[in-house]
């Protein structure tokens, strides 16, 4: 039997490529709403999925409400799908049980459904919070040791490793995107390093969706910020070339920050370091 794995460099994706049926999970969320109109050019039919309705459905769209934690529903969702942009799940630091249902069990259900349905390409929305406990300003590459800043970050590392398993065992290709601050504009000092513009996010997702022979690849998702902390490692393999730079907003946002010396101001995870723990500390008995 031939080995499906490869380490060869890949040429950039072609901008006019299209899939027949593309699944966008988490379509009702913040990133889902941002990417939904931008993915229309990538497919003949865009299948929108979330736990709630995504609103009015366009001519080249269809909708299937689905809970990631429901294995049978996920198998039905993946039928006939050519590729997945997986944004679904809990998107902020939350109690472990909430994170686990969608971001652990849901990721397994996604990959198992992909295996059973024959879908061979997933773009997985990982997160910079997988390395959020490094000091701000410290340059990082994908190969650096993970240092998650909470349960959410741990769940994204679980997803990256599930992707590796399903590539090595079953040949399902994944590009995991450690997405930074995906907002229309940078909102604080940290975002001068971590921001990814909507246009660059679109470029990144399309590159990850169509680049050939990616195997299992993890890249940081960030714009071409002058002070970015994260390596461009892997961008050449998928043909991602960011065009935007947070520097244009420096004067407006450089003074917006958390209290000096706090974990939120000191570590790369920012505000996520201020969330939790979620269980009250037991009080000593008198």
Residues catalogued as catalytic: 152
121/210 Cα distance (integer angstroms): 9
Q: Where are the beta strands (DSSP E) in the chain?
A: 19-25, 43-49, 61-63, 83-86, 121-127, 173-179, 181-182, 195-196, 216-221
Q: Which of 88, 42, 54, 64 is nearest to 204 (CA)?
A: 42
The answer to whether the beta carbons of residues 131 and 144 sit under 8 Å apart is yes
CB atoms within 10 A of CB 274: 13
Please give the radius of gyration of the chain, using alpha carbons only, rounded to the nearest integer. Answer: 19
End-to-end Cα, the chain, rounded Å: 69
């Amino acid at each position: 039997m031939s080995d499906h794995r490869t380490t060869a460099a890949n040429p950039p994706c072609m901008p006019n490529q299209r899939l027949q049926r593309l699944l966008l999970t988490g379509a009702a969320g913040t990133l889902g709403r941002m990417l939904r109109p931008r993915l229309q050019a990538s497919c003949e039919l865009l299948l929108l999925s979330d736990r709630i309705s995504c609103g009015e459905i366009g001519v080249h769209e269809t909708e299937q409400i689905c809970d990631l934690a429901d294995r049978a529903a996920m198998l039905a969702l993946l039928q006939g799908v050519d590729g997945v942009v997986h944004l679904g799940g809990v998107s902020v630091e939350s109690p472990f049980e909430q994170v686990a249902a969608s971001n652990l069990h849901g990721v397994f259900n996604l990959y198992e459904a992909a295996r059973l349905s024959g879908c061979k390409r997933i773009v997985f929305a990982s997160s910079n919070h997988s390395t959020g406990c490094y000091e701000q300003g410290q340059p990082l590459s994908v190969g650096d040791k993970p240092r998650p800043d909470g349960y959410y970050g741990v769940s994204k590392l679980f997803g990256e490793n599930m992707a590796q398993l399903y590539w090595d065992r079953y040949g399902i290709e994944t590009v995991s995107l450690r997405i930074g601050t995906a907002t229309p504009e940078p909102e604080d000092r940290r975002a001068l390093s971590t921001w990814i513009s909507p246009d660059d996010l679109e470029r990144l997702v399309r590159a990850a969706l169509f680049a050939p022979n990616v195997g299992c690849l993890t890249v940081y998702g960030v714009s071409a910020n002058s002070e970015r902390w994260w390596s461009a490692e892997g961008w050449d393999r998928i043909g991602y070339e960011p065009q935007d730079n947070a520097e244009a907003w420096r004067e407006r946002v450089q003074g917006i920050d958390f209290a000096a010396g706090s974990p939120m101001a000191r570590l790369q995870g920012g505000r996520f370091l201020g969330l939790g723990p979620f269980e009250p500390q037991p009080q000593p008995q008198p």
